[in-house]
Structure 1
């Protein structure tokens, strides 16, 4: 009887041990399925060996985490299902507080209608892009949104890539401010010309006074031109001026450096330039009538932030953003065109 009781007790203990091992095996399998385990340690004939578990999408996860753009996925209610670290950095929030929140919470209030319209379009399987502002705890951030639906195992979600446009907007404002200053300088020069003509007319009866006035005004004009030349020469933007025949008559230091132009020592006022090509952003040749300065002279309207590519012989392809205006003489007759540009090669490569 004692042996039977002992055997029963042993069987009971063995059954409990088997149930424990079974439960442990189930937990291990569930952990492998859910991705909670990175490696397994197996005890074999040669001792303990480590086997790593690497999913097929690990490379893509690393890539997305190291992107300079923000990347998220949302469901149909706008809830954030996934976010990379860059998006959390954009809105100045800890990553763990972003997941599960509504994407709309991070949109500037006056941009909500635009955001909703973009997302509605994207849910209709339309590759959608648009600009709006994120509401960060520091300040609103302008971003470019690229939206596309994703058909995943767990269902359809919407992926959103967010590119920070802060630097681009700042450069655009700087370019507009420099263009405004350049227009003011042109107006000053034109006023000086008008003053010169009026002074000459008033002094025609007295030759000595006329000569004295001309010398004084010429000196003032020369000093103004020298000041303007120094301003243009030290600007970080390229500046070039063409005549009515679209021939280059002036290029500042930055324009010479970026475009490889130089003054013709044999012909003062003329410039030598290599035969560089103007290209559209898609790589095709830019027609002469599509040149931003030509457009400004033909239409009489200023051109802002017109991006083209320049292929200078022996140099890397250069992308520039151009502002252009027409130049008129004292009789309001078209006399040429003026263009300013900045190097946007790095910005273009980042897009």
Structure 2
């Protein structure tokens, strides 16, 4: 009886013939695959900066996936299996408004295989509509702490990065501060403006490069409690491919001064607006024994830390003679007294309801 481990000679011979046949059939298939892959790989050398971008110059994804728009144009114009660069250089394959030559660093279509590029421009992908031959400046901002008290200081770190494919010229950073915060100048190229601090960063910011700036900020001792939004904005004189990432913000919580009421300067009678009745109300209190205003700071129209006849005259001059507007917080928007609470110039404000303060605030 023949065991299963010893098949008949005829089966052994058939098995050997089958293996030989498979080797004969598989070899040309493998050879064809290798030749095909090699043919694709050397084409990146027939495109300016093709080696820099790699297979994704012509294909979607890595490893030779489907052709992108540029790859299709290349395939349609092949000559004997080779890239005809002159045929595709002037095309805008991905429809982004730039020719393939502009994107790959050969805007004049003068390059030939084996020659060095006359331009050192950083290439963008001619097969991706979202890849432009332009700078793309992005900005981020971080605070050293999430919460502070009036009178505290903190810092903000602003980072700028060029994630585009061209240099960005005359890059400027702005730190935009809300009322109640003031910034210090972090360097010689910076200056304070009414909205915060502006810094000239660099003449030319190259692709893939970035820079950080540190801003010291002081919170006013009279800052009102609440959420303060601090913004960082970056700009360049060069047209960008994307402007949506030029502005970022961070929130900082300020506490401790919530009890201070807001008011309108000069609104002695607390009716929410300046009028002749405010001066009459003040004169009545000063000379006719009338009740004194509950919000001394509102009655101190000229903010000289005294309540007298000059405040009534100041309001009338503002209303009818084109005189100066009452000092901060002014006559048109509610705000707190800029003088230090409890200081020598603070006249107090026990009740003022027109700005939405609770009675007794």
TM-score, normalised via structure 2 length: 0.22
Q: 1 or 2, which has the higher helix percentage?
A: 1
Q: 1 or 2, which has the higher strand percentage?
A: 1
Larger radius of gyration: 2
TM-score, normalised via structure 1 length: 0.22
Report 1 or 2 for greater relative contact order, CA contacts < 8 Å, sequence distance ≥ 6.
2
